Amino acid sequence: MIPNKKRGYKMEEKQRLWLRRMILVLSGLVCVGLCAAVGVPMVRLAREPELFRRWVAGFGIWGRLVYVAAVAAQVVLAVIPGEPLELAGGYAFGALEGTVLALAGIILGSAAVFGLVRWFGRGLVAALYSEERMDSLAFLRDSRRSRALAFLLMTIPGTPKDLLSYFAGLTQLRLREWLTIVAVARIPSVIGSTCSGGAAGSGQYGLAAAVLVLTALFSGAGLLYYRRVCREESSTK
């Protein structure tokens, strides 16, 4: 009897799909566990910069690696806000070093997210975000200006960078292109946070408050512009 190659191929595809779904579910459970056990306490700690500084110092020479890993984990978990960690990084390490370390963590986390989305596909993004939010960025998948638009949206303060990080894996962007965009485009927003934290760490509380206010204003304006871009690009499809 000649084996049915087509049937065997379909069974193999079903097994792969089942395996991916199981891994997706398990990964989701792990992420929820990490978020509850590590992420939330770490953000709370980061909101008290002096305690965060002592906590990092307790790791000695490994403190900087621990901080980079924490920022990377924040990018992957997405639901955890990143700004408190960036502020705390500036407070603990100073504006310049805090910026470098935060960017290193963001790049590592972005690479991990990109790889996960490429492996699991749209299902992973849909598990974290509504269809409506994903559809608002559909133009990045089709537009000839997707690279320029992705760079613009990642540069502007106030845009949902967690959603953009996950959605990038669904576009035609290559990993190298996406990490280049992230490495350059995230500099302004990270500098704003780490400079504020660094100023507070050196006792310049007025400067720290001024930077925070300016960042908040730019973030509000950036969010409005982001919504406008999404509406205009979506209306052209």
pLDDT digits (tens, 9 = 90+) for 211-233: 666 766 666 666 666 667 666 66
Give the DSSP H/E element, type plus range, for residue 172: none
pLDDT of residue 65: 87
Give the DSSP H/E element, type plus range, for residue 3: none
pLDDT of residue 56: 76
For the ranges 104-108, 131-135, 174-178, the lowest mean pLDDT is seen at: 131-135
In 3D, which of 177, 215, 175 has the Cα closest to residue 195? Answer: 215
Which band of pLDDT confidence, cut at 50, 70 and 90, is reported for residue 11?
A: very low
In 3D, which of 112, 105, 124 has the Cα closest to residue 28? Answer: 124
Which band of pLDDT confidence, cut at 50, 70 and 90, is reported for residue 2?
A: very low
